Structure 1
Amino acid sequence: MTSTDWKTRQGSCRCGRLRFEITTPPIITTACHCKGCQRMSASAFSLSMAVPVEGFRLLSGEPVIGGAREMKGLDHSFCGHCMSWVFTRFPEVMGEIINVRSTMLEDTSELEPFLETCTAEKLDWVTTPAKHSFEHFPTPEEFPALIEEYSTR
């Protein structure tokens, strides 16, 4: 999906009080199988899309920080009312990128995971259509090539 194909998408938490929009295409889509994501999403993995901070805008509501609060530099943002996990910021790792739970968007078309992470922790029966799999997280040196490949698919 190129930036010319992207249409602004809106999303919200489960109760709709925390609303947002994404105005730029994701730089990559992922499925994370780590135990933390399994527990926070109450699922086998969490789905997300990384977007530049300038492409993300809150429309209503005020997120609260929760989840792995003890992990410095990792801010999981939730709706303060329904407690839906909506997005994560981790500036020390990804800079000016926001990792939005793609399932919170009203239109999730074309957002299947391109890569999956932490497969060393995944449940044995889980499969995804991800093109790339990593037992842990890709190294910072691997991300530029993955982002480039995602942008040209």
Structure 2
Amino acid sequence: MRIDGQCHCGYVRYEAEIDPASVSICHCTDCQMLTGTAYRVSVAARRQDFRLLSNAPKQYAKTGDSGRVSLQFFCPECGSPIYRCSDRSDDPEIAIRLGTIRQRQDLRPRRQIWCRSALPWVEEIGQLPRRPGD
């Protein structure tokens, strides 16, 4: 599936080819802290199928508990997280942040990872009162 997206302010724009079946939710504590919320939703793309259309994002390197380095890419203007990848050049995948994808309404998570770190109330959000706007 062909997608395109951008950060909140539009400074960083991209396009990519993705497999919609690769959308996942990550509950790890790094994702919680890097998003400022309960979990992160991403979709995998091959590095060769991802192309920046405007302006380079800023990079932050995070070493995980495993010792592996994860490169986080975000807009230097508005701070929107855009994608992440390994620091290994032989790793063929990047993970694009779902919230930056224009076609996000068409992408449904297919799996969850790092569930042992999930906040205990996450499974209950469907039961909360809902309003169409605020």
What is the TM-score of this pair, normalised by structure 2? 0.80
Report 1:28-39 matches (<5 A): 28-39=22-33
Q: 1:13 to 1:67 in 2, by over 3 A?
A: farther
- What is the Cα-based RMSD across aligned positions, in Å? 2.4
Q: In proportion to residue count, which structure has more strand?
A: 2
Structure 2 residue 109 is matched with structure 1 residue 125: no
Aligned position for 2:15? 21
Report 1:40-79 matches (<5 A): 40-66=34-60, 68=62, 72-79=68-75
Letter in 2 for 1:87: Y
Question: Structure 1: how far apart are the matches of 2:61 and 2:8?
Answer: 17
Alignment length (residue pairs):
122
Aligned position for 1:107? 103
Q: Which runs of 5+ in 1 are unaligned?
A: 1-5, 129-153
State the identity %.
26
Contact 1:26 1:51 in 2 (8 A): no
Match of 1:86 among 78, 82, 85: 82
Higher RCO (CA 8 Å, separation ≥ 6 residues): 2
Q: 1:49 to 1:119 in 2, by over 3 A?
A: same
Q: Which runs of 5+ in 2 are unaligned?
A: 125-134
C-alpha displacement of 1:31: 0.4
